[in-house]
């Protein structure tokens, strides 16, 4: 499956270098963030973090992205913790006060750090998946967060660790929430779920991202 995904991404990158489609990508950078042009350009940028940052997009469901943007606009200076770094880290940093992201892949982390340097309010920690270092990184960060993003590895465990660190009125974004192995953990976490299914950045098929929130949402 991973070979298929890499092959697909490689083909999309080659197609994206063709003259007309390169112009599409350039034009998309100043188009409606939630419109079809920007979404189409994201298909050509799959697994290319530099292109996705240039497009100003996270790899989430489109409607969920809009909801989180509106939430951050209502909560200026928000403190954010993210499991799984990527273009979303830059997207969040442009809208939040501080972003702490944890990443298990050292090569990916080293690629991201210089791309985020100019933003000044985002850090990416590299932590091993084995043991408690990755899942427990939010304990290491300490305190509570307005927004917690779960989009990396060991997501069900990350959700358990995230709960005590969520501010009253805060929300958790849980990506790829339609996957069967994640459904039980969200159902029993004690938060309400608003699941967005449909058009999602980077992929040509509908996908799911959920927003989890408690009774203090507002």
Residue 17's pLDDT is 52
Share of the chain above pLDDT 90, in %: 78
Q: State the pTM of this model.
A: 0.89
CATH architecture of 62-213: 3-Layer(aba) Sandwich (3.40)
Range from 2-16, 69-83, 153-167 carrying the lowest mean pLDDT: 2-16
Tell whether the model's pLDDT for residue 216 goes beyond 50: no
Indicate the pLDDT class of residue 22, thresholds 50, 70 and 90.
Answer: low
Relative to beta strand 192-198, strand 207-213 is: antiparallel
Range from 14-18, 64-68, 150-154 carrying the lowest mean pLDDT: 14-18
Contacts of 196 (CB under 8 A, 6+ apart): 61, 62, 63, 64, 67, 208, 209, 210, 211
Residue 20's pLDDT is 58
- pLDDT tens digits, residue range 43-55? 999 899 999 999 9
Tell whether the model's pLDDT for residue 5 goes beyond 50: no
Tell whether the model's pLDDT for residue 59 goes beyond 80: yes
- pLDDT tens digits, residue range 102-132? 999 999 999 999 999 999 999 999 999 999 9
Helix axes 180-187, 155-162, angle to 10 degrees: 20
Joined together, the tokens standing for residue 16 give 């994206």
Average pLDDT in the chain: 89
Domain ranges in the chain are 2-54, 62-213
- pLDDT tens digits, residue range 184-196? 999 999 999 999 9
Mean pLDDT across 138-166: 97
Rg of the chain on CA atoms, in Å: 17
Residue 32's pLDDT is 82
State how far Cα 197 lies from the chain centre. 15
């Amino acid at each position: 499956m991973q070979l298929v995904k890499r092959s697909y991404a490689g083909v999309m990158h080659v197609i994206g270098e063709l003259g007309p489609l390169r112009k599409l990508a350039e034009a998309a950078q100043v188009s409606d963030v939630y419109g079809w042009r920007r979404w189409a350009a994201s298909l050509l940028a799959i697994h290319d973090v530099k292109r996705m940052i240039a497009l100003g997009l996270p790899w989430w469901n489109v409607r969920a992205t809009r909801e989180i943007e509106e939430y951050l606009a209502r909560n200026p200076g928000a403190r954010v913790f993210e499991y799984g770094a990527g273009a979303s880290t830059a997207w969040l940093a442009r809208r939040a006060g501080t972003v702490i992201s944890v990443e298990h892949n050292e090569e990916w982390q080293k690629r991201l750090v210089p791309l985020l340097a100019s933003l000044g309010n985002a850090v990416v920690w590299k932590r091993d998946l084995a043991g408690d270092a990755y899942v427990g990184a939010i304990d290491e960060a300490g305190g509570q967060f307005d927004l917690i993003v779960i989009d990396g590895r060991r997501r069900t465990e990350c959700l358990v660790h995230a709960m005590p660190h969520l501010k009253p009125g805060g929300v958790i974004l849980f990506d790829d929430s339609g996957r069967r192995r994640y459904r039980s953990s969200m159902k029993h976490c004690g938060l309400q779920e608003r699941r967005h299914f449909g058009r999602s950045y980077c992929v040509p098929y509908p996908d799911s991202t959920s927003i989890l929130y408690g009774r203090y949402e507002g």
